[in-house]
Amino acid sequence: MSMNHSVILNAVTQFSTPLYLYDMQKIQWIYQLLRNSLEKNIDIFYSIKANPSLGICQYLSQLGSGGEVSSRHELFTAIRAGFSPRKIIFAGPYKTDDDIALCIERNIKAIICESITEMNRVNHISEKYHVKTKILLRINPDFKVKSAPIKMSGESTQFGMMIEDVIKHQEKIKLLKNIIISGIQVYNASRILNEKDIADNINHILELSLQLSSALEMKFTCIDLGGGLGVPYFEKETALDIQLLIIRINQSVLEYQKKNGQTEFILELGRFLVSESGYFITRVYDIKKNHQKQFIITDGGMHCMMAASGLGSYIHRNFKAQHIANEASENQAEHYTVCGPLCTPSDIILKDFLIRAPAVNDLIVIEKAGAYGLSASPFRFLSHGACVEAMLFQDQLFLLRRRETIDDILQTQNDCQFIFSEGVKLC
C-alpha cells in the first residue's frame, strides 16, 4: 500500500493532527537503489541530523546503513538504533572532551577532526586511554559547488581546515602518536541538483586526497566524499538522474583506486534518503479574510515544520502540498495564505496556495517533509510541544513519537514556588 488519501485519513483518525507520517517503503527503495548500484567499497552513512527519530534510524540501520552523528545525543541515538560503532563517524566543528572520550570508549569508526587544535585534543585523550584513534581530516578546499544553494566549504566558513595549514603543520602532526589519519572528509555543499556538479566535486575531492596524501607521505585508506545530493522541493527544480550520477561516481572511485590502491569511500546522505518519505499533515481550524487577502489557520505551523515557513530565506517558496477536503466542491479555486497557530506573522507555511473552497476540518498536507522537519523546528514555542510522528510500514500504521504533553515540557524545569512562598518584595 502506498501513501494515499485513505492512508492519510486513517492516520489522522488514529493519531490526530498536527502529524508527521513517513512512508518507509520509499526509504527502502532509495537506499536499496543506491546500495545495489554503487561500488561495494562505497559505504552509505545516514546523516542522523536529517531526521533523528529513533524508528527512522532503526530502519536505516536494519537496511545496512552506517551513521554520521554530530553530537553525543546523536551518538547515543545511533547506538540505541542498532548502528554498529564501527559504522559510526562523529562530525561537526564542536566536540567536548567528553564527546571525544565517548567516541574512544565506544570505538567508533572515526572522529572527523576540524582543526589542528582538535587533532591535538583527540591525541591527548587517546593517550590517556592508551589507544590509537582513527581520524579523518575535514578539509575546507579551494573549490566549491557554485550551483549549490547551501555552501558548507570552499569559501570562508567555520568548517574544516585549509590544506595549506595541514601541510604547514605536518611535522607537528606526525608527532601525534595516538591518532591514525585514515584519510580526509570534504563536505562542500548541500541540496545540489546537478549531476555534473556533484561528479566534478567528487573528482576534485579525490585529486585533493592524492595531493595531501603525497605531501604528508601517508597512505589514505578512507575518503569521505560528503554528500549534498539534493531533493527538488520547489517549482522548476528537477530531480537528479540518480543512475547517471551513480555511473559517474563509480567511474571516479575506480580511477582513484588505480592510483592509490584499495580504498574505502563514504557517502553521507540524509535529506536524499528520507525527505521523499515524509508528509506533514495539519488541520484547518479557521478561514478568514483581512485586507483583501484570504487566510487559512491550521494547528501545525512553523513550530512543527520551520522549513516550510522559509524563515531565513530571501523569498518564500512553497513546498509541494495538497488539500484533502471533507466535501468535494465545484467552486473556482482561489489563493489562500496558510498559517499556523503561533503569535507571529512569520508563521506562514504556504503563500498564495491555490485551492478550491477550503473548510474547517479539511487537511493540508505538505510533501517531501521527511528531512529537517520536527527536530529542526521550534516546537516548544508557545509551549505547543512536539507533534506526533508515525509511519506506514508493510501496510500498517505505527506510532513513532507520541504527542508531547505539558508534563513533558515542564519535567526538566525546577518548581521555584517555595522560593517565593514568603512573597516577593518589589524594589
Per-residue confidence in pLDDT tens, the chain, 427 aa: 678 999 999 999 999 999 999 999 999 999 999 999 999 999 999 999 999 999 999 999 999 999 999 999 999 999 999 999 999 999 999 999 999 999 999 999 999 999 999 999 999 999 999 999 999 999 999 988 988 888 888 888 999 999 999 999 999 999 999 999 999 999 998 899 999 999 999 999 999 999 999 999 999 999 999 999 999 999 889 999 999 999 999 999 999 999 888 899 999 999 999 999 999 999 999 999 999 999 999 999 999 999 999 876 767 899 999 999 988 888 889 999 999 999 999 999 999 999 999 999 999 999 999 999 999 999 999 999 999 999 999 999 999 999 999 999 999 999 998 888 777 677 6
Residues with Cβ within 8 Å of residue 340, at least 6 apart in sequence: 282, 297, 298, 299, 300, 301, 302, 303, 304, 347, 348, 349
Q: Residue 300 and residue 379: Cα distance in Å, rounded?
A: 10
Assign domain 277-405 to its CATH architecture: Beta Barrel (2.40)
Say if CB 347 and CB 340 are below 8 A apart: yes
- Measured at the alpha carbon of residue 222, what is the angle toward residues 268 and 206, in degrees to the nearest 5? 80
Distance CA 376, CA 307 (A): 8
Q: What is the pTM of this model?
A: 0.95
Q: Give the phi and the psi of residue 379 in degrees, each rounded to 5.
A: -70, -10
- Does this chain's domain 91-269 share its CATH topology with 277-405? no
At the top level of CATH, the class of 91-269 is alpha beta
Domain borders along the chain are: 91-269, 277-405
Q: CA-to-CA distance for 157 and 161, rounded, in angstroms?
A: 10
CB atoms within 10 A of CB 23: 20
Find, among 165, 154, 218, the residue nearest to 188 by Cα.
Answer: 154
